[in-house]
Chains A and B, each alone.
Chain A
Amino acid sequence: MRFGVVVFPGSNCEQDVVGACRYLGLEAEYVWHGDTSLDGFDAIVLPGGFSYGDYIRCGAVARFSPVMNEVVRFAERGGPVLGICNGFQILTEAHLLPGALLRNRGLKFICRRVPLRVDGSCDWLDLPLGTVLEVPINHNEGNYTCDAATLERLNANGQVVLRYCEPDGSSAEDGSAPNGALDDIAGICNERGNVFGLMPHPERVVDPLSGGTDGQPFLTTVVRKLAEVAG
């Protein structure tokens, strides 16, 4: 079981992800965005950062990096793909996940810990529904949006895996998303459940030294699921 963590020009969280994997005893290696093969990798992570300086739109240029053709093929074969923050933005630009991420409603870059409620499950996260996790966010464009039909489909299929919430797990009447995200959406998966994108950074709360361990299941779940499949 080996994680591949893609490095785009301007990625800046790839070391955090590889470090988190290794902290958990999991094998992880960097994959250069110019690579054209993902052979030998069992799960792919698109890390956070500012790929291509966020020019045009966040993730818009990274989507056309050579490695992305392979990531799309990997995902279509059912391979687990995780996009964190800028990685989530890249997944939406690549149409591996629906919707888009707009500028935060308050126009401010937000960097703080937020409570998240587990509202669904996927290959990357499978916790009891209603579990509240505390994970940091660190973004300027995390304001998720999609059209009404897509939102209905996401909800009907249980594809909204994570929502921003109040510390007790409830939802505020006027929304709990600090960035204005539609329906408080913090993370969604595709229908098959193998592609998962989220704005929060679970890799930063893996080692208790950095103030929490709520991020651990995001990396360990996929290992367990892949082992189950392999039987």
Chain B
Amino acid sequence: MARYEIFVTYKTGIFDPPGATAERALANLGHEGVESVRIGKYIQLAGDVSFEAVTEMCEKLLANPVIEDFRIETVEE
């Protein structure tokens, strides 16, 4: 059984409301060095599926290519 980790993030230039809010909240907490916060999704996926199949899952359902990028890492082949 293969195990994958998938990271889904907003594309550059897409405004990320939760990220922007976290950014302001961190500044309010006194963390003045924070320049950018982007919040995304982390997905753990396991099964008898190939990397290509997981890529297709991301393109069709797990991410929306219109607004999001995704990165798949193979944890276990």
B62 on the A face (CB < 8 A) = yes
- Residue contact A107 to B17, C-beta cutoff 8 Å: yes
Q: Is B14 an interface residue (CB 8 A)?
A: yes
- B38 CB to nearest A CB, Å: 13
Report whether A100 and B67 are in contact in the complex, using a CB–CB cutoff of 8 Å: yes
In the complex, chain B residues whose CB is within 8 Å of the CB of A60? 61, 64
Q: Which of B17, B64, B66 is close to A105, meaning CB atoms less than 8 Å apart?
A: B17
- Contact A180–B17 (Cβ < 8 Å): yes
Out of A99, A103, A107, name the residue touching B66 (CB < 8 Å): A99
The answer to whether A145 touches B64, judged by C-beta atoms less than 8 angstroms apart, is: no
* A99, closest chain B residue (CB): B66
Residue contact B21 to A107, C-beta cutoff 8 Å: yes
Q: Which residues of A contact B17 (CB under 8 A)?
A: 102-107, 143, 180
In B46-77, the 8 Å CB interface with A consists of 61-62, 64, 66-67
Q: Is B18 an interface residue (CB 8 A)?
A: yes
Among A56, A102, A103, A147, contact of B61 (Cβ-Cβ < 8 Å): A56
**A145 near B61: Cβ-Cβ < 8 Å:** no
Smallest Cβ distance from B7 to chain A, in angstroms?
15
A-contacting residues, B1-40, CB 8 Å: 13-18, 21
| Interface presence of A64 (CB below 8 A) | yes
The yes or no answer to A184 lying at the interface (CB within 8 A) is no
A93 to B63, CA, bound (A): 10
Write out the residue numbers on chain B whose beta carbons fall within 8 Å of the beta carbon of A56.
Answer: 61-62
Give the docked Cα–Cα distance between A95 and B66 (Å): 10
- Asked if A92 lies at the interface with its beta carbon under 8 angstroms from chain B, I say yes
Tell me whether A64 and B61 are in contact (CB under 8 A): yes
User: Is A146 interfacial (CB 8 A cutoff)?
Assistant: yes
Question: Chain A residues near B21 (CB, 8 Å)?
Answer: 107
Is the Cβ of B66 less than 8 Å from the Cβ of A92? Answer: yes
A225 beta carbon closer than 8 Å to chain B: no
Which positions 140-167 of chain A face chain B at CB distance < 8 Å?
143, 145-147
The docked-state distance in angstroms from the alpha carbon of A146 to that of B13 is 10
Chain B residues near A (Cβ < 8 Å): 13-18, 21, 61-62, 64, 66-67
Q: List 23 A-B contacts (CB under 8 A).
A: A60-B64, A61-B61, A64-B61, A92-B66, A98-B66, A99-B66, A100-B64, A100-B66, A100-B67, A102-B14, A102-B15, A102-B16, A102-B17, A102-B67, A103-B17, A104-B17, A105-B15, A107-B17, A143-B17, A145-B67, A147-B13, A180-B15, A180-B17
Q: Which 8 A-B pairs have the closest CB atoms?
A: A103-B17, A100-B67, A100-B66, A105-B17, A107-B17, A107-B21, A57-B64, A100-B64
Binding site for B on A (CB under 8 A): 56-57, 60-61, 64, 92-93, 98-100, 102-107, 143, 145-147, 180
